[in-house]
Structure 1
Amino acid sequence: MPEGTPTIKDVAERAGVSVTTVTNVLYGRGSRFSEQTRERVLQAVEELGYRPNQIARSLVRRRSNTLGVVVEHFRGALMGNPYYSTLLDGILAEAVQSGYQLKIIALERPDPEHARLSAEDGSIDGAILAAPLYQSPLLQWVESCNIPRVVAGSSPQDLRAACVDVDDEGSVYAAVKWLIDLGHRRIAFIAGPTNYWSARQRERGYLRALHDAGITPTPHWIRRGDYSTLSGRQAMELLLQVRPAFSAVVSCNDWMALGALETLRRKGLLVPEDISVLGFDDVEAAAVASPPLTTIRQPVREIGITTARLLIQQIESGKPSTEHVIFPGELVQRDSVMPCSPEPPDRIKPRQRIRPRRRRC
């Protein structure tokens, strides 16, 4: 066994061939060598721990050592959306750790045939479908495709494929129940777009928590946004016109919650003294908002890591999986929520109030 880092010459000597033959085998150049010679070279590469052993393994296993990440509505997903960048960071970290690289398959529309042609052409060993929209046609492709696959950021119960997600419904349910325990009974909700699985599940959690507490929500307590800060501002404008007034609002994501904070500040209402505000995601801006936003943190990077790990396990074992891995959300308590104020905000004149003590209704 040679000392130090093995070289291509060491591989050639171990295999009993020329350096040129080793190069040709590793990089697939030419065909003037037998299968036995090829196997001797690859065995020498493995035994010596020669650096291109990843190439050698891929040749032996007939693999590309590449994971494909399929993203529908690519521009809207990756431009200005930290969820996807954080998810990809986790996927990439696990892929590199395991000796794989990534290939992004960008789709401007959810076209199953385009996905099939791009993902099943032999260039990738397995596919990750990143946060597909609700009832996306790509989910049908995922269930029928001929390569290992995992869905990240969406977890339909009847999906016949592995998936990794956060417990959207359960997390919001627990947060609303916490608000109720703080004395809040009139809790509004800024819902997300209905074409997102996450938005639908979070709204279900809100409604179920109210139902289980014996609270009948007023339809006007729910206003829908598109996950943007602007839509959060607009939703809060509409909610403030509702009577009876609410004491707390839960937003389907942090960006809409931050927009809601802007509207409340502009209207002269205090958070949390007049209205408590709770978000979802724990984006970086949540911690530096005024006041710092209480929110539900979802482990997006860990979801990415686990997604890649599940996919690589399928690739390495040759066994398909339909395992659903669901992470719990974590309630991050900051300064935008307090126990219910004894007086609803519509009875207090803006900018002329004394901050109340924290107490239940």
Structure 2
Amino acid sequence: MSDTTDHKTGRPTLADVAALAEVSRAVVSRALSPSPRPVSADKRERVLRAAEALGYRPNPLARSLTTKRTNLVAVVVNHIHDLSDLDLFDRLLGEIQAIGKQVLLLKVGSVDRVEAFLREGVAHHVDAALVWSDFADAATVRRMFRSDLVVMMNGCHDALSPAVVPDEAVGIREAVADAAAKGVHSAALVTGRASSAIEGERVASYRAAFEAEGIALAAVLQGDYSYASGRAAAAAFQHEATPDAVFCTSDAMAMGVLDACRRFFPDDRPSRFRLYGFDNLSITDHDAYPISSIGFDKAGFVEHIVRFVVHPETFVPGSPPVGVPTRFFPRATG
């Protein structure tokens, strides 16, 4: 922040307030600080009157240089292109703003992109970083944002950063058991990005559940969590020799499968194969996509994340990730 009037914008500066109040710039800074700082009542009142008369508004980024707080929280994602992101991040942004902070959203589409942030100095100093991108590990993000408070949701955490992850095995076992009880003997699995640590654990949980229920895994098809990749995978289910059930590791992919195979779901009921998704999107409660799914309490999930932002001291280095339990939500397609 400039010490003199900004001649380009005409906006008053801290120095202008100090001159009008007949105090030093240091006194103005203390008087306008959101944290209690020593300044006499008389001088504080003079500063407040001067600031109001001039229409002065403190620059939060400049103030952060002395307070060491920016009230910015970085949210690092690969992308936001499916409904599971919208369901979660709408709630997350509301809770972050409720604690008086704002969100800096960064899209990281590759490992090279993370390195570019570091090389180019694009990253900002933030109070905390919340990481979903599976291209970023905890140590890199701490360097990237020059912050020790990094909360990992992508499975790439370490002993120095807290992590919050869905405990997916329980919900997956419940969904596969539902299929087995309905006579399913073979299944296909449409998966997401192979590079994701979370996805790797999710696929392992499906394989274990299929084996436990005696269901043969007939095919594994690679997707990327998107509706388009689910619709593309559905080409494998257009002939007679389809498995008894198709499990997708995201609801968006299951929606793509359903739309491509609507003729096999008269009145939304399965006639050729049963269909299961993952995420329990809000849209699955509507008539258009009544997909049996696996989900977790998103409010509880966000609550754990925000708790680490507000009370970072509650994290003990080396602690295991906080697990948020999942459960099965039966609907028409299952």
Could you tell me the TM-score, scaled by structure 2's length?
A: 0.70
Q: Is the 8 A contact 1:279 1:294 kept in 2?
A: yes
Task: Report how many residues are paired.
Answer: 288
Superposition pairs of residues 58-69 of structure 1, within 5 angstroms: 62-69=67-74
User: For residues 86 and 263 of structure 1, do their structure 2 counterparts lie closer, same or farther at Cα, with a shift above 3 Å needed?
Assistant: closer
The letter of the residue matching 1:332 is F
In the TM superposition, residue 115 of structure 1 has moved relative to its aligned partner by 5.0
144-153 or 180-189: bigger deviation: 144-153
Superposition pairs of residues 49-88 of structure 1, within 5 angstroms: 62-73=67-78, 77-78=79-80, 80-88=81-89
Q: Is the 8 A contact 1:132 1:139 kept in 2?
A: no
In the TM superposition, residue 332 of structure 1 has moved relative to its aligned partner by 1.5
Q: Paired residue for 2:114, among 111, 116, 128?
A: 111
Q: Deviation digits for residues 17-69 of structure 1, max 9, x if unmatched? A: x97656442347xxxxxxxx952459x99xxxxxx9xx9xx889933252421
Look up the SS of the partner of 2:310 in the other structure. Answer: helix
Q: Is the 8 A contact 2:30 2:38 kept in 1?
A: no
Superposition pairs of residues 200-215 of structure 1, within 5 angstroms: 200-215=200-215
The letter of the residue matching 1:254 is D
Q: Paired residue for 2:328, among 328, 331, 343?
A: 331
The letter of the residue matching 2:102 is Q
User: For residues 242 and 332 of structure 1, do their structure 2 counterparts lie closer, same or farther at Cα, with a shift above 3 Å needed?
Assistant: same
Q: Distance in 2 between matches of 1:118 and 1:321?
A: 30
Q: Distance in 1 between matches of 2:139 and 2:172?
A: 28
In the TM superposition, residue 310 of structure 1 has moved relative to its aligned partner by 0.9
Which residue of 1 is the match for residue 223 of structure 2? 225
Q: Is the 8 A contact 2:269 2:333 kept in 1?
A: yes
Q: Is the 8 A contact 1:152 1:307 kept in 2?
A: no
Which residue of 2 is the match for residue 285 of structure 1? 283
282-291 or 197-206: bigger deviation: 282-291
The letter of the residue matching 2:31 is L
Could you tell me the TM-score, scaled by structure 1's length?
A: 0.65
Q: Distance in 2 between matches of 1:259 and 1:111?
A: 30
Q: Distance in 2 between matches of 1:174 and 1:249?
A: 15
Q: Is the 8 A contact 2:136 2:156 kept in 1?
A: no
In the TM superposition, residue 238 of structure 1 has moved relative to its aligned partner by 0.9
Q: Is the 8 A contact 1:155 1:165 kept in 2?
A: yes
In the TM superposition, residue 209 of structure 1 has moved relative to its aligned partner by 0.7
In the TM superposition, residue 208 of structure 1 has moved relative to its aligned partner by 0.7
Q: Deviation digits for residues 122-147 of structure 1, max 9, x if unmatched? A: x4222222x122xx244341466753
User: For residues 236 and 271 of structure 1, do their structure 2 counterparts lie closer, same or farther at Cα, with a shift above 3 Å needed?
Assistant: farther
Which residue of 2 is the match for residue 305 of structure 1? 303
In the TM superposition, residue 178 of structure 1 has moved relative to its aligned partner by 2.6
Q: Distance in 2 between matches of 1:198 and 1:289?
A: 30
User: For residues 38 and 142 of structure 1, do their structure 2 counterparts lie closer, same or farther at Cα, with a shift above 3 Å needed?
Assistant: closer
The answer to whether structure 1 residue 258 and structure 2 residue 255 are counterparts is: yes
User: For residues 318 and 276 of structure 1, do their structure 2 counterparts lie closer, same or farther at Cα, with a shift above 3 Å needed?
Assistant: closer
Q: Is the 8 A contact 1:67 1:95 kept in 2?
A: no
User: For residues 260 and 72 of structure 1, do their structure 2 counterparts lie closer, same or farther at Cα, with a shift above 3 Å needed?
Assistant: closer
The percentage of aligned residue pairs carrying the same residue is 21
The answer to whether structure 1 residue 163 and structure 2 residue 160 are counterparts is: no
The letter of the residue matching 2:138 is L
Q: Paired residue for 1:234, among 209, 232, 237?
A: 232
The answer to whether structure 1 residue 99 and structure 2 residue 107 are counterparts is: no
Q: Is the 8 A contact 2:76 2:133 kept in 1?
A: yes
The letter of the residue matching 2:126 is I
Q: Is the 8 A contact 2:82 2:226 kept in 1?
A: no
Which residue of 2 is the match for residue 199 of structure 1? 199
Look up the SS of the partner of 1:328 in the other structure. Answer: strand
In the TM superposition, residue 205 of structure 1 has moved relative to its aligned partner by 1.4
In the TM superposition, residue 327 of structure 1 has moved relative to its aligned partner by 0.9
Q: Is the 8 A contact 1:252 1:279 kept in 2?
A: yes
Q: Is the 8 A contact 2:69 2:126 kept in 1?
A: yes
The answer to whether structure 1 residue 124 and structure 2 residue 122 are counterparts is: no
Q: RMSD across aligned C-alpha pairs, in angstroms?
A: 3.8
User: For residues 240 and 198 of structure 1, do their structure 2 counterparts lie closer, same or farther at Cα, with a shift above 3 Å needed?
Assistant: farther
Which residue of 2 is the match for residue 185 of structure 1? 185
Which residue of 1 is the match for residue 140 of structure 2? 141
